[in-house]
Structure 1
């Protein structure tokens, strides 16, 4: 492709974009609809019946570039994220992500800004500095007769989903968040976090929340097979597919035999099928949550495949809004994480392309490797070879063994110390830190109400845009 003229390259990308999206939908006709329907149309105005809010947690701008060039090189098609720019009904904005307590937000403050309409301190979920609980958007939606849904690859009680539905002064109060989901009757709940739905009290008693959901009419599913069967059903749905977070996409793709764990696309598809039956509409948040986790770990293989999985949700969302023009769609991130970048490598940077081939040596995440080594209770070079395609030196082995012996909560720090320079030379992927960043981020909006999104938007302003689009009174 590097030998094509600029005009030929544009035509190639346009055509290959349609072909590449086909693997994510059931037919090429559906892809054509998702990619072309609505083009030439003016921005929708009026009231929205539904809102779909797609959020990829912790997406640094450089992660988009890494995934974009990887996909062009290996699948000869641009990201669906990039193809959004071709739609004439796109309202594009740049989003300021700060919290009340810092220019660098955490996920609970960021999601709460969307969920309640004002900035709060890092660590809280819809609770202000004075301790006052602020009514979240799902509560308003329920009062308006709308169904609500949360889909995530994290624990469903984690910060981002909680920001639309819960009130707690500390984001780690996930047992309380699970209880609030039951009390507030969130209609669709899909993700990880089963551990927070069986709660042991100080007096030794155990509360099982899943039976309480079932008593309220929820269908409960535990794997991909049961989830797929639930798509045709009606009524509220809860699916918990892991004790904690759902395993990384790279691990699910390469694990043999494959576990019966749904992908984000699987969960999104079923959530839409169930919520589509809501007579008065719905508000659905879908989170690709583990891009953030991979960024914190500086795990290049994991972050690439997590974002690619989120990207695969975009055609489903576009297909839905093209068939349901009364639906507002927002696609964004809450903040950047770790400053992931594909860097220039080699003379004239000519090694950056081959580095995109070598990144394919990474078959498992740092998290997978951590689990294998901690189970073995000692360093085993075969697992490093399986995960990274690297033959560990005695010096590298010693670094990791010390962390294993110390029973480190996470071995990612030891992996970076031992293998970080080698992995960066191999993949050309670099990092600014293991923390969140203050970067402003992309926001895409479509459908009724999208025309009211300003070109530069502060995160807390989205609450008013969403509720106004839905015709919901908040004061």
Structure 2
């Protein structure tokens, strides 16, 4: 990647600075709606920033919006965005080739290659043809490429922009493809897939290979902050599997050096901004989906709030670089999260938005703690939920621990779900994905061509056309 001229580099460092991004509101509380320049509304894009809150249903947006109004007296950035001049808003059909309810690999592949894919596959059409993903096209056009996620970087959504596989579960293969296809910035979890055990008992470690190719390798927040000021390709792996939930990072000392989505996003922009011919960057708030699968109210709230905090960062960049197409969306809903009416005339729904603040940890945190000790711990329940566990509840969870249940979220809901619902007023329709159509927002060159009702696989053609890439 080419370096910026010193004056331009200083301007962008001042803009981003790895500090908090400016609010979308002015000092007087009015929504910022500066008219886009002509380059921002028509013509060719140099860059694409594609922001994905994986598994974001409408109910999760409403929960977070009311929480923020109640607790911080301001609306979500997601809501403020709706008042921005030049915004293109569309309703997106998320179906896959094999089902009206998509999984993340099929949804990301639809964006990534322009074809609807069967659930579970990556950029391989139902007839078995492997389709070139968008980051490969971008690379061929001389652009830099990037993937940022709170999941494993080899997980379905980032892989949908960069990899080909019969199964999304082939994450070792996906890591190898990132190396071979030279994705310029890779930030997230999933370190275990870059150090692979071989059949002969040996270990294939890709990190030295990345370093030999000129990548900077970082493993914690401090190293990332320093590397963000540098140049060249960058790989940061901050967890063996997924990055811990934001609620756990905030309340567990051992996670304080694990960067969050905002920090990774800023670092990626600083590195990719140096690319002379532009870049394509996907940024995923991936664990919104995981909290939805687990019906974990506090976790999903804080995961989406973290994603929402990335919107001002993106908008700052777009304002300084109007040749950037910005897309903000989700791949599907998960769990059917809803803030419900509670109490007489629903008078308890507001106070519930305060009581959710007593939750300090995720179901995943409890699962890890209990499985390490093989013992139920009532004190951990008190710490996580602010709930005193009964002997009957403890016995129910202990039985699941003894049975080595893969995920304890289900039994935690069974044991404590009624109390959690009473405290939070939040209900769920399932632990699965949903078929709901979802919001898609866009700004910048190419956004004007997005129809009001868009199929997910149409976005590939819109992005490549905006970039002037022949496919």
TM range (shorter): over 0.9
- Going from structure 1 to structure 2, the CA distance change for 1:338 and 1:30 (only over 3 Å counts) comes to closer
Alignment partner, residue 59 of structure 1: 56
- Going from structure 1 to structure 2, the CA distance change for 1:139 and 1:325 (only over 3 Å counts) comes to same
- The alignment's TM-score, normalised by the length of structure 2, stands at 0.94
Matched, 1:44 2:53: no
CA distance in 2, matches of 1:386, 1:347: 30
> SS of the counterpart of 2:399?
helix
| Shift, 1:27, TM fit | 6.6
CA distance in 1, matches of 2:116, 2:392: 47
| Shift, 1:123, TM fit | 0.1
Matched, 1:374 2:354: no
| Shift, 1:131, TM fit | 1.9
- Going from structure 1 to structure 2, the CA distance change for 1:146 and 1:352 (only over 3 Å counts) comes to same
Alignment partner, residue 466 of structure 1: 463
> SS of the counterpart of 2:282?
strand
Matched, 1:137 2:124: no
CA distance in 2, matches of 1:465, 1:379: 52
Alignment partner, residue 147 of structure 1: 144
Alignment partner, residue 68 of structure 2: 71
Answer whether contact 2:21 2:312 (CA < 8 A) is retained: no
Matched, 1:275 2:283: no
CA distance in 2, matches of 1:256, 1:339: 32
CA distance in 1, matches of 2:387, 2:368: 18
For residues 303-347 of structure 1, the C-alpha deviation after alignment (integer angstroms, 9 at most, x for no partner) is 000000000000000000000000000000000001000000011
Answer whether contact 1:48 1:470 (CA < 8 A) is retained: yes
Gaps of 5+ in 2: 1-15
Which moves more between the two structures, 367-376 or 96-105? 367-376
For residues 28-77 of structure 1, the C-alpha deviation after alignment (integer angstroms, 9 at most, x for no partner) is 58975996263376761000000000000000100000000000011111
Gaps of 5+ in 1: 1-21
Matched, 1:165 2:174: no
| Shift, 1:203, TM fit | 1.7
CA distance in 1, matches of 2:461, 2:33: 28
CA distance in 2, matches of 1:403, 1:340: 25
CA distance in 2, matches of 1:457, 1:112: 15
Matched, 1:361 2:362: no
CA distance in 1, matches of 2:133, 2:212: 25
CA distance in 2, matches of 1:257, 1:35: 38
- Aligned residue among 116, 119, 129 for 2:116: 119
Answer whether contact 1:149 1:284 (CA < 8 A) is retained: yes
Alignment partner, residue 236 of structure 2: 239
CA distance in 1, matches of 2:160, 2:221: 26
> SS of the counterpart of 1:36?
coil
The aligned length equals: 453
- Going from structure 1 to structure 2, the CA distance change for 1:170 and 1:257 (only over 3 Å counts) comes to closer
Alignment partner, residue 346 of structure 1: 343
Answer whether contact 1:35 1:315 (CA < 8 A) is retained: no
CA distance in 1, matches of 2:188, 2:425: 32
Alignment partner, residue 10 of structure 1: none
- Going from structure 1 to structure 2, the CA distance change for 1:346 and 1:332 (only over 3 Å counts) comes to same
CA distance in 1, matches of 2:441, 2:23: 24
| Shift, 1:422, TM fit | 1.2
- Aligned residue among 285, 292, 297 for 1:288: 285
Alignment of 1:317-466 (within 5 A): 317-466=314-463
- The alignment's TM-score, normalised by the length of structure 1, stands at 0.93
CA distance in 2, matches of 1:312, 1:293: 19
| Shift, 1:257, TM fit | 5.5
Alignment partner, residue 193 of structure 1: 190
- Going from structure 1 to structure 2, the CA distance change for 1:397 and 1:30 (only over 3 Å counts) comes to closer
For residues 120-178 of structure 1, the C-alpha deviation after alignment (integer angstroms, 9 at most, x for no partner) is 10000001122211100011000100000000000000000000000000000000000
| Shift, 1:25, TM fit | 5.6
Across the aligned residues of Structure 1 and Structure 2, the Cα RMSD in angstroms comes to 1.8
Answer whether contact 1:93 1:456 (CA < 8 A) is retained: yes
CA distance in 1, matches of 2:123, 2:186: 19
| Shift, 1:254, TM fit | 1.1
Answer whether contact 1:112 1:120 (CA < 8 A) is retained: yes
Alignment partner, residue 221 of structure 2: 224
> SS of the counterpart of 1:403?
helix
> SS of the counterpart of 1:67?
helix
